[in-house]
Each structure stands twice: as structure tokens, then as C-alpha cells.
Amino acid sequence: MTSRATSVRPRPRRPIRHLLVGLTVALVAALTPPGGSTPAQAAPTLLSQGRPATASSTENAGTPAAAAVDGNTGTRWASAFSDPQWLQVDLGARATITQVNLLWEGAYGRAFQLQTSDDGTTWTTIYSTTTGAGGTQNLTVTGAGRYVRMYGTARGTGYGYSLWEFQVYGESGGTTPTCGSTNVAQGSPATASSTQDAGLAASAAVDGNPGTRWASAASDPQWLRVDLGSTRTICRVTLTWEAAYARSFQLQTSADGTTWTTIYSTTTGAGGTQNLTVTGSGRYLRMYGTARGTAYGYSLWELAVNTTGGTTEPPVGTTDPYNPNLGANTFVFDPGTPTSTIQSRLNTLFTQQETNQFGPQRYAVLFKPGTYTADVNLGFFTQVAGLGMSPDDVNLNGHVRVEAAWFGGNATQNFWRAAENLSVTLPAGVSVERWAVSQAAPYRRMHLRGAQNQIQLWNGGDGWSSGGLMADTRVDGLVVSGSQQQWYSRNSEFGNGWTGSVWNMVFQGVNGAPAPSFPNPSHTVIAQTPQVREKPFLYVDGSGEYRVFVPALRTNSTGTSWYNKTPAGSSISLSQFYVVQPGTSAATINAALAQGRHLLFTPGVHHVTEPIQVNRADTVVLGLGLATIQADNGSVGMRVADVDGVKVAGLMFEAGTTNSPVLMEVGPAGSSASHAGNPTSLHDVFFRIGGPHVGKATNTLTVNSDNVIGDHMWLWRADHAAQGVPTGWTLNTADTGLTVNGDNVTMYGLFVEHYQKYQTIWNGNGGRTYFYQNELPYDPPNQAAWMNGSTRGYAAYKVADSVTSHQAFGLGSYSYFNVNPAVVEERSFEVPVNPNVRFTNMVTVSLGGVGTINRVINNAGGTANAANQTVYLTTYP
């Protein structure tokens, strides 16, 4: 708005007495509210105008942050065209905030939070929306802090965020603290009056896992107590009850754990989830139950405690690269460690993890350069890795193996484990190394020594196995596929070749691969890998410093990146990483990222209630021990900006019990920048919806950026679960596994299973997939429940009609409609008819004849059913 001068005609002067009377009457009227005599409160003050402002980015020099707090509605701040973005104002002193006005230009925030902070680092959200509509928003809020920011997570247009004015109202000097969002009880020591059994311990109610619980004996009274470590001012307690709830209970605090003060009491508790606003302080908090709501004991999935003053996370600290804290579940051995100590630890881990496919435990076993004697038998959620620059820097005399004895010789559930960056010399007189795995179990950057030896991908006489990855690996001897149903080998070297096949074996850039032959034997051979970056890895240099090596891009490559050659790439000191421990909030993780740090996740389940935002080009996010990020309260697990060269590796993303719109997003919607010279890459990134609890997510992974590389990923809607945790059509719900909207995206070794609509949707041009493994959902209750309009079921791999170029090689899709075998899928691959959309070597299978796949691709290929269980098609069109 532009102001203009106006002329005013002079008015006659009044006598002074009349003027004073008039002012007095006006003042009284102003201070007297209608219908009463109580003076009105003073109006809040505009605190932000002219104060220092900063922003995450600016569109150009003419749209700086300061323009949003200059009082001129004709100037504006505008950000870059990506998410997230923020605008922050420093009020100069702590203030009580009562109102924030946002005067949006046409480029507005659809999803954003208003946040306050006392130090500009730790933030408390005081307003949040995902349905912003732009225009002028006058928002009444309650909060306090020196700093106030608008934190935008989803833009309303294809442009950035743009504000004519950002107006913060309140009163300076405010001292009212806000109730923080961090659960300070999570991970704290907990005790109880009793437990129902050893599997229902007090600690299960403060572990951040909504699938574990504490349960007491079936008598009154009973209590659960948590030690917060120091005296805290408590403002909110959330109780998430299992069916056995408390009808009468108190919340109590104590400074010493002996003398208690009641801060909340009820005799009409109804269970469920109770969010209780309280006022009290103490080091200890307990729930003291005096009357049960059922005949059973008291049972809490979670007890959460929030305190005043915003989050209580410590400042982002430094990492000592010579003595880093890699977490309680990381075990690092050196050549001086006694062999008996190493083997004892390995045996203990295997005993615990052999059948523990849905537990929260995660482990990494790391060997510094040297020679060892060890038998590494890998169970669930265990990673074994060498800490050398080359696999040959660490040699294990013994085994690195996976067996399937726990499941009667059937290896089709041997998921979630990894062997990396090691060489193995088998014991004298032994010539077979067994690697009986299915999905999410990479054998990567390994060297199995000895031309007389073989690695056996399971034995058909013992049972089936169902898919895996071998990458950047050298086997001096022979690879025997055995009962493996499908397998993907990339950039590896087989000294004595490969033997065997079942349905779908794909070899890419492999020296020693068998001759191309499909379908008998079912060998798809691609001579080179067009563009790939190997997975980043942790190592220790000659001085004892921990570093992360980031391999360079390779083009049209064959063989390994390391055998008889010097690996190309860059090395980053661990001092430049923030080492994330379980219990660290997403706010702290994001603060570390904002300071330019990379991330190393230690083994464990990391719960987040807001997205991890990776905004800086070339950021490395690396997990140890299959570290898991669980998206709670309907959050997104991670968002990656539309920038060059981000690497995400060695992580699993887990859906929480509240539905998430997506678990991981690479690039915001509408991303269009080219990253051809430095693509973002995802390595050994896995996703799970259901299993340890009833998880839900509409979409799992959405790729909006161009030129992204996927290097071994498994996206899984659970078909089975932990004992006592159900799965089913209306329980662990998930529409789609992978959605690709970006152009020139390449997937190497892609596994997507059991989703309720399309398993994979590809909307971008120039896409390529090398090896695809899919099982359709087991559990459609009937055909009517699984219809895509008038089409029976949804394709396993859908290329949008608008796509003009796409290639895919070595694809398998399988049906097992065990809830209702009469269900039919019309086709597994659905693509536009275009000479530049080409599919090579496909197979469909009706597993055991349970269910029908009517056609392979579009209307081509035969029917897979009980009478004809396996159907092959070599080319389309």
C-alpha cells in the first residue's frame, strides 16, 4: 500500500477548559467497557517492527528478511522455492506473546508452525496448521520467548514463502514459561510396585515404544514411578492406557522419592489416552492407582512428562573423532581384544536376536583393521562391519553367515541384517559359507577369500529363501544360488562364476556373471551400471581417527570399487557429524543439521514427532545397526530438500500407530532442479508399516527430486507381525509403497510388497529400474474390496499414461491371496504403449496356486494361477 498526502481545512480553536473536559470524557469512555466499570486491559504492543530478522533463505537481494518487519506493506520477504523455510525475529528480550499476524503475499504457507525460543536454538511450537490458505491471518496464541519464527514445512504454491509483514504482539518482560514438547520421561529410570511378568517391566512405559507396556499385579494400590534426574517443573502428563486402566488414581511428585505431593487426582478415569495439564515440581513423578477399572492390574503403554521452558534437549555438542560415543549397542573390537571376548559377545547377540524380528533392539559389531578369529552368525537387526578403508584391511578367520534353523530351515523371514566391508577366510577343511537371507539383508563390500570356496545363498534341501543383494563384493570362488527365488548382484566379481536360478536372477556390472538367459535359466545380465555411487561407510584411519568415506559417482562401471584399485571419493572426519542417540528429539537433530553437521544414527529406535529436515547439499545421514526412525503422532519421518548430493544410508523408517501421510519425502512437490552431476542417493534404506505394532502410513516413500539413485530398498507393509500384534486389511493400512514424480530417477534392487493400492507409481520421465521384486497384498478380504475402478486389483508397478520414456529389467510379481484365494489381479505391470517405455524379462507367480494374476503386463502374457503357477515374458512392447 502506498500512502498519499491529503489537505485538511483548519478548524476553529476551542477554549482550553472545553478541550480538557472532552479529553477526560473520552479517556473515561475508553477505559470503561460496555456494561461495566472495570478498566480494560492495555492493548498488546507490536514488538516485532524494526527488530532484527533473519531467514533460512531469500529469493533475491530485494526480498530480505528485514522487509517483513519494517512496517511497510509494500515490501516483503520471500524465500527460496523449497521446504522447509523459516523467518525469525529477535524481540530483544523475553516477551509474552499473545497474537501473531501474517500478511501473506501470493506465495503462502500451507503447512507451518509458529515457534518461540529463549536462545534461538531450542524451539517450542505455539501454533500449527496444515491447511493455511494465505491472505491475512490474525492468530491468537499463547507463548513466551525472545525469538519468534514462522517455520514453513509445505508451500501453498510452486514458489517459496512470501510475507508482506510478520507482526508479533505481546508484552515485553513476560516470564510465563511455556509447556515444552519434549517427553522428559522417555528413557529415564522407572520402577513400579509390581509387574505382571518379566515381559511387562516398568521401563516399557517410558521407552517411547507404543507397542510395549508395563502391567502390574491385579490388586490395589499399585504405582509406576519415573526418575527425571533432577527437579523439574511439570506442566503436562500423558497416560496412554492399555485396556487395563485406572478408574481412581493420583499423579504425585517428590523431591526424594519418599515424600509425595498430589498434583492431580480423579475417581472417574476412563482409560484411553489422557492428556493432563498439571502444575507441580519434583525429581520423581508417579502414577498412584487406588482403584482399577477392570479385574486385571494397571497397564500403561506409555507415560509421558512435559516440563516448562520449551524443550529440554542439551545444545548440540561436538563429536570427538578419536573416541566417539557410538551408542550402548555398538561394540568395537581391535586386534588386541581376546578372541574369547569377541566370540562370547557374538554368541550372546545371536542368541538374543536369532528370532527377534520385531523387537526394538538394534546392534552394530565393528572390527578395527587387523586379523581376527570369529564365527559371526547374524540374527535380526545386527550389522557386522569392518572399519578399514578396504575390506581386506579386516580379515576374519571363520565365518560371516546367516542360517535359518530358527524357522525350520525356511529362510523366507530372514530379514534386517547386514555384512559390510570385511574379508572372510573360511576355516581349514570348510569350503561353504551360507548366506540364507531374504529382504533387507545386504552382503555389501565383502571379500570371501579362496578360489576353492563357495558362498551358498541357501540350500534347496533345507528350505526356501526369497531375495537379497550382493554389491561391491568379490567372491574368489563360486556363488551357488540354491533355493533363492530371486537375487540382485551389482558391481561384483565372482572368480569361479555363478550357478543356479529359480525365478529372477539379475546381474549388473558383474565380472563372472553367467551368460544371459531368460527364462531358463532365469538370468538377466546387464553389462554395465550406468551411474551409481556406493554406500558411504565408517572407517578408522592410520591415526585412529573415525571418518566416513563417501564414494564417488561411477559411470558405466563393472566390478568392485576397491579390489586392486584405489577407491575414488571423499573423506569426512566424524567431528563433522552429530552422533544421534535414541531419545534425541527431531528438534535437536534439525538444529545439528542447521549448523552444517552430518548425522550418524546409533543403533536403536529413534522416535520423532516432527520431520527430520535435510536441507543442505551433500549432507550424509548414516545409520549403524539398522537404526530405525519411527514417525509418531502422524509425523513424516524425514524430508530431503531439492538439493544436490544428499546421501541417506543404513536406516529403516517405521510407521507409528497414527497414520502418517508419508514416511520419507525426497524433494518437495514440484521439484524441478537438475542434479545429474551430483544426485541424491539412498543406500540400504528400508521401510516397515506394521509388525511390532499396528502402523499406518498412506504413502511410504515419495521421490519428487530429479536424478535420485536408489541403491537397495525394501518397502514393506507387514504380512505378519509380532506375537499378539495383529495385521490386516483394516489395521496396518498403507496405500502405496513408492511414488516417483521426479525425472531421470534410477532404482537398483527395488523390493516393494503388500500395499493396498499400487505398489509402485512412476510419474516421472526417464526412469530406470534394475531388478524389481514384489508380493501383492495377501489380505484382500474379497474382490470388491480390491478394485481399481472397474479393474480387478492394482498393478504392482504402474507407469503413468503421461510418461514417454521408461526402462525396467528383471521384474517379478507374486500373488498369495491367502485370505480369499478367489481374488484376481488383472495385471502386475501397467504401462503406456510407447516404444520408449520398455520392460525386459518379467515373471509372475501364483505362490502355491493361491490367487490369480490374469496378465503379466497390460494385456500381454499368460495367466498365473493354480493350474499354471509361473508365467514368463521376455519383452514388452
* Euclidean distance between CA atoms 833 and 123, whole angstroms: 52
* Euclidean distance between CA atoms 674 and 671, whole angstroms: 9
> How do strand 417-420 and strand 261-266 relate by DSSP bridges?
unpaired
Cell numbers linked to 796: 504392482
The helix (H) or strand (E) run that includes residue 792 is strand 791-792
Coil, strand or helix: which one is 406? helix
Quick check: 815 and 851 in contact, CB under 8 A?
A: yes
Residue type, position 238, single letter = T
State the chain's maximal CA–CA distance in angstroms. Answer: 118
How many Å separate Cα 813 from the centre of its chain?
A: 26
Lookup result for grid cell 502428563: 237
Quick check: 276 and 548 in contact, CB under 8 A?
A: no
**CB-CB neighbours of 5 under 10 Å:** 5
> Pseudo-torsion of CA 314, 317, 321, 325, nearest 10°?
0
Supply the DSSP symbol for 676: T
Residue type, position 714, single letter = W
Question: What are the catalytic residues?
Answer: 775
Quick check: 329 and 581 in contact, CB under 8 A?
A: no
* Euclidean distance between CA atoms 51 and 47, whole angstroms: 8
Cell numbers linked to 474: 568379490
- Show Cβ contacts of residue 76 under 8 Å, excluding neighbours closer than 6 positions: 63, 67, 68, 105, 162, 163, 164
* Euclidean distance between CA atoms 58 and 298, whole angstroms: 54
Supply the DSSP symbol for 511: B
Quick check: 222 and 242 in contact, CB under 8 A?
A: no
Supply the DSSP symbol for 697: B
Instruction: Look at residues 476, 466, 483 and name the one whose alpha carbon lies nearest to residue 497.
Output: 476
> How do strand 767-775 and strand 791-792 relate by DSSP bridges?
unpaired
* Euclidean distance between CA atoms 317 and 614, whole angstroms: 19
CA angle 617, 619, 623 (to 5 degrees): 155
How many Å separate Cα 128 from the centre of its chain?
A: 21
3-state helix, strand, coil in the chain (%, to 5): 5, 45, 50
Residue type, position 279, single letter = T
* Euclidean distance between CA atoms 140 and 117, whole angstroms: 18
CA angle 692, 694, 700 (to 5 degrees): 95
Instruction: Look at residues 314, 310, 315, 316 and name the one whose alpha carbon lies nearest to residue 124.
Output: 310
CA angle 232, 235, 237 (to 5 degrees): 100
Supply the DSSP symbol for 438: -
Q: HSE, CB side, 13 Å, CA atoms: give it for residue 633.
A: 10
- Show Cβ contacts of residue 143 under 8 Å, excluding neighbours closer than 6 positions: 96, 97, 114, 116, 124, 126, 178
* Euclidean distance between CA atoms 469 and 28, whole angstroms: 81
Quick check: 271 and 228 in contact, CB under 8 A?
A: no
Supply the DSSP symbol for 385: E
